């Protein structure tokens, strides 16, 4: 399994003999790293060597080696100058090559010691890209797979492709084996779109033994389903003359005086904001230490301790086998860091761009780098404010701007773009853009796609599914001790004609503090336009004389549609609620559990989820809390989504709510007094 090439799936692998190369020199940090910086290409192999020595004579394969962030108290003391710099630590999950047993470890890189080693039982680690690569390689050579293809007229196995997926929970093998499933497709040529030619079987693979356990063929009325052979392609070489290059004129984004943000290592400052940008194999982008300069109080104020996307689930809605196993947890089962694309200027990012690389470990314990994993840039964001006074003709308007920190991942057929944005009005927004390919399956002549799917092309079924994302917010609204207050827009309780509501037009915001973690398992209510305010009870707005806060605005929060008692309902308990609020605890991060692969979900020993944290029912009032915000969409596929999907956005927002004394963007010069030398009439005469 150790790589013997220079790259895996776009990763550039760095070995010790490469450290003197110019490419490696640019990746080795100069000086002492920030405590939240990702592990460097030097630190990862050091951690691997320490683990090998500790575990000797066992031979290890490394599932992950990543930064072990310092405990909050330790890091806070260091930031405030009240404590020493935290030791650099790594966290690793390892697999014994001989026995297949799994362990996790914590390595102190400062002292060169393995501080913790824990053997795991009935827990399965994330599937790496090296793991996923096994499926296609061994399936093409398996006699049962060759026979299954031959039965439907396919003899060239080099044209058969398999998308490797986690398997959910499979009763036939339980937790005895580390499993994957491979969804089968065919190509008529090397660059053909395989999702136009889905096959009617799935392979089950033992990852560690590299063994095909089963070929699950779906018979319909005792018959196989023929492969659809009509081509539906989207690459330029297939589109050819159908491109219309004259219809759209170029748009160039120009910043003649440069960008408005500054980078010091991984620390970013922009328009009064400051933050640290991290990256790891599982969460991808991690934004920490977010604070802002308040122009009215002339001081720096804290906003968020840590922001990241910690889970997502994509449950499919077709009840037939083998589709019941399709419910991918793309963060917990594969890792958004592992699946991150290397971004390209002008295509994935446009304008004046600053890139950050992603550094991870491969199975050999060597460091691998995704170049340009993170894109940082500014965009015009339309109006910040405007008012026209008709009395004297005075017009004042200012342009908003947003800072965008983004990554794009490829999860088998789907692409997800994650865009963390900050704007001048005191708003943080996470937008996810969904594109890529529909997951497809062949239709038998006796079948209809409806009601659980759409026939997006003749004999090609794209099944209904959901995308539910979990955004973890560790708030620090003017300090660590915060409370969440539920806000519902409701009409006055007083009847029409009463002294209190004579004309019947009164309504107000009903405030309900969430006091314990069971209260914090909150539902959305469309009828009351429900929002939630994260407030600091000890910090008062001088005008309202009420606590300052940030408002969670989440209107894209569909309910989990899988029935109670189903495998998906048990495994994706986090998706049952749009909001969970629980007390902060170091290293409680992942709402579906630390070990999602093959987890049964509820009551899986050694794999606590947000449901367990909530059921402790601890106080979440005026204390250090964490918010898990679930948002997403229900996807009923359309013919317009085929052969490749137009990007569909979904987002969630946190916005200053009585946090500032006035509009925080009044320092931005109004456009009416700025000379815009780039502005021209669309049609000049």
Q: CA 655, 656, 658, 664: dihedral to nearest 10 degrees?
A: -130
Question: How far is it, in rounded angstroms, from Cα 41 to Cα 27?
Answer: 7
DSSP annotation of 526 reads: G
Q: Which helix H or strand E contains 73, and what residues bound it?
A: helix 72-79
| Distance between CA atoms of residues 581 and 514, nearest Å | 8
Of 319, 288, 152, 171, whose CA–CA distance to 223 is shortest?
152
> How many Å apart are CA 323 and CA 311, to the nearest integer?
21
Using DSSP, state whether 327 is helix, strand or coil: strand
Angle at 442 between CA 441 and CA 447, to 5 degrees: 110
430: CB partners within 8 A, 6+ apart:
307, 309, 418, 419, 420, 421, 471, 651, 652, 653
User: SS3 of 639, please?
Assistant: helix
User: Contact 477/454 with Cβ under 8 angstroms?
Assistant: no
Q: Which residues pair with 211 in a beta bridge?
A: 206
The CA distance from 345 to 354, in Å, is 10
DSSP 392: T
DSSP state of 32: S
Selected catalytic residue, list 185, 195, 414, 524: 414
Do residues 612 and 573 touch, judged by C-beta distance below 8 A?
Answer: no
Task: Report the alpha-carbon angle 63-307-553, nearest 5.
Answer: 135
Quick check: is 330 catalytic? yes
235-240 contacts, C-beta under 8 A, 24 or more apart: 235/191, 235/193, 237/191, 238/191
Distance CA 49, CA 366 (A): 10
Contact call for residues 374 and 57 (beta carbons, < 8 A): no
Q: Which of 330, 474, 478, 533 is catalytic?
A: 330
What is the number of alpha carbons within 13 Å of residue 462 lying toward its C-beta? 24
Taking phi over 0 as left and psi of -120 to 50 as alpha, with beta for the rest, 209 belongs to: alpha
CA distance 319 to 116: 43
Q: Is 414 a catalytic residue?
A: yes
- On whether the CB atoms of residues 421 and 403 are closer than 8 A, the answer is yes
CA separation for the pair 593, 591 (Å, rounded): 5
Cis peptide before 57 (omega within 30 of 0): yes
Q: Which of 475, 467, 473 shows the shortest CA–CA distance to 309?
A: 473
CB atoms near residue 491 (< 10 Å):
12
The most distant pair of C-alpha atoms in the chain lies apart, rounded to whole Å, by 86
Three-state secondary structure call for residue 152: coil
Distance (Å, rounded) from C-alpha 226 to C-alpha 216?
16
Long-range contacts, stretch 671-675, CB < 8 angstroms, 24+ apart: 671/397, 671/398, 671/399, 672/395, 672/396, 672/397
106-136 burial: b if 16+ Cβ within 10 Å, else e: bbbbeeeebeeeeebebbbbbbbbbbbebbb
Contact 628, 614 (CB under 8 A): no
Reply yes or no: is the peptide bond before residue 643 cis, omega within 30 of 0: yes
Which residues does the annotation mark as catalytic? Answer: 330, 414
């Amino acid at each position: 399994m150790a790589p013997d090439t220079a790259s895996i799936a776009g990763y550039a692998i760095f070995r010790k003999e490469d450290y003197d190369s110019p490419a490696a020199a640019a990746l080795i940090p100069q000086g002492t790293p920030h405590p939240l910086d990702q592990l460097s290409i030097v630190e990862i192999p050091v951690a691997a060597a320490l683990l090998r020595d500790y575990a000797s004579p066992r031979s290890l394969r490394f599932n992950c080696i990543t930064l072990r962030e310092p405990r909050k108290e330790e890091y806070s003391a260091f930031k405030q100058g009240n404590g020493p710099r935290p030791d650099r630590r790594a966290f690793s999950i390892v697999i014994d090559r001989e026995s297949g047993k799994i362990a996790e470890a914590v390595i102190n890189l400062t002292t060169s010691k393995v501080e913790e080693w824990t053997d795991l039982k009935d827990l399965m680690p994330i599937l790496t890209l090296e793991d996923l690569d096994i499926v296609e390689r061994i399936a093409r050579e398996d006699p049962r797979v060759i026979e299954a293809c031959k039965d439907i007229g396919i003899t060239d196995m080099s044209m058969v492709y398999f998308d490797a997926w986690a398997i959910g929970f499979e009763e036939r093998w339980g937790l005895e084996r580390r499993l994957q499933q491979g969804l089968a497709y065919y190509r008529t040529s090397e660059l053909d779109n395989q999702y136009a030619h889905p096959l009617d079987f799935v392979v089950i693979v033992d990852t560690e033994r590299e063994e095909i356990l089963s070929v699950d063929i779906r018979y319909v009325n005792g018959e196989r389903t023929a492969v659809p052979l009509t081509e539906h392609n989207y690459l330029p070489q297939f589109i050819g003359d159908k491109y219309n290059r004259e219809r759209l004129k170029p748009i160039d984004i120009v910043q003649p005086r440069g960008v408005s943000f500054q980078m010091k290592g991984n620390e970013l400052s922009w328009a009064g904001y400051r933050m640290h940008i991290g990256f790891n194999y599982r969460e991808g982008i991690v934004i920490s230490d977010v604070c802002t300069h308040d122009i009215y109080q002339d001081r720096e104020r804290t906003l968020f301790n840590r922001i990241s996307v910690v889970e997502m689930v994509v449950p499919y809605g077709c009840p037939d086998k083998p589709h019941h196993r399709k419910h991918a947890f793309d963060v917990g089962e594969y890792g958004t860091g592992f699946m991150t694309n290397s971004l390209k200027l002008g295509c994935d990012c446009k304008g004046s761009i600053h890139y950050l690389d992603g550094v991870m470990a491969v199975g050999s314990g060597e460091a691998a780098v995704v170049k340009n994993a993170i894109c940082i840039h500014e965009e015009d964001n339309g109006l910040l404010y405007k008012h026209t006074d008709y009395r004297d003709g005075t017009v004042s308007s200012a342009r908003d701007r947003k800072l965008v920190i983004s990554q794009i991942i490829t999860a088998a057929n789907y692409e997800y773009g994650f865009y963390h944005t900050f704007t001048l009005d005191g708003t943080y927004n996470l937008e996810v853009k969904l594109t890529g390919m529909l997951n497809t399956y062949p239709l038998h002549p006796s079948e209809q796609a409806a009601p659980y799917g759409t026939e997006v092309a003749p004999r090609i079924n794209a099944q209904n599914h959901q995308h539910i994302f979990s955004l973890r917010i560790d708030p620090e609204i003017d300090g660590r001790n915060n409370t969440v207050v539920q806000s519902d827009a409701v009409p006055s309780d007083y009847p029409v004609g009463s002294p209190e509501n004579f004309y019947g037009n009164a309504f107000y915001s009903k405030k309900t503090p969430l006091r314990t973690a069971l209260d914090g398992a909150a539902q959305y209510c469309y009828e009351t336009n429900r929002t939630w305010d994260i407030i600091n009870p000890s910090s008062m707005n001088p005008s309202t004389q009420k606590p300052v806060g940030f408002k969670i605005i989440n209107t894209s929060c569909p309910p989990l549609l899988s029935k109670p008692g189903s495998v998906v309902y048990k495994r994706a308990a986090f998706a049952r609620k749009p909001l969970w609020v629980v007390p902060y605890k170091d290293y409680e991060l992942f709402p579906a559990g630390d070990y999602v692969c093959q987890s049964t979900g509820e009551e899986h020993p050694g794999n606590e989820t947000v449901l367990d944290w909530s059921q402790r029912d601890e106080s979440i009032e005026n204390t250090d809390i964490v918010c898990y915000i679930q948002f997403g969409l229900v996807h009923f596929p359309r013919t317009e989504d085929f052969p490749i999907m137009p990007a569909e956005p979904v987002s969630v927002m946190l916005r200053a709510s009585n946090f500032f004394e006035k509009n925080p963007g009044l320092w931005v010069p109004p456009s009416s007094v700025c000379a815009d030398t780039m502005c021209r009439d669309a049609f000049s005469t």
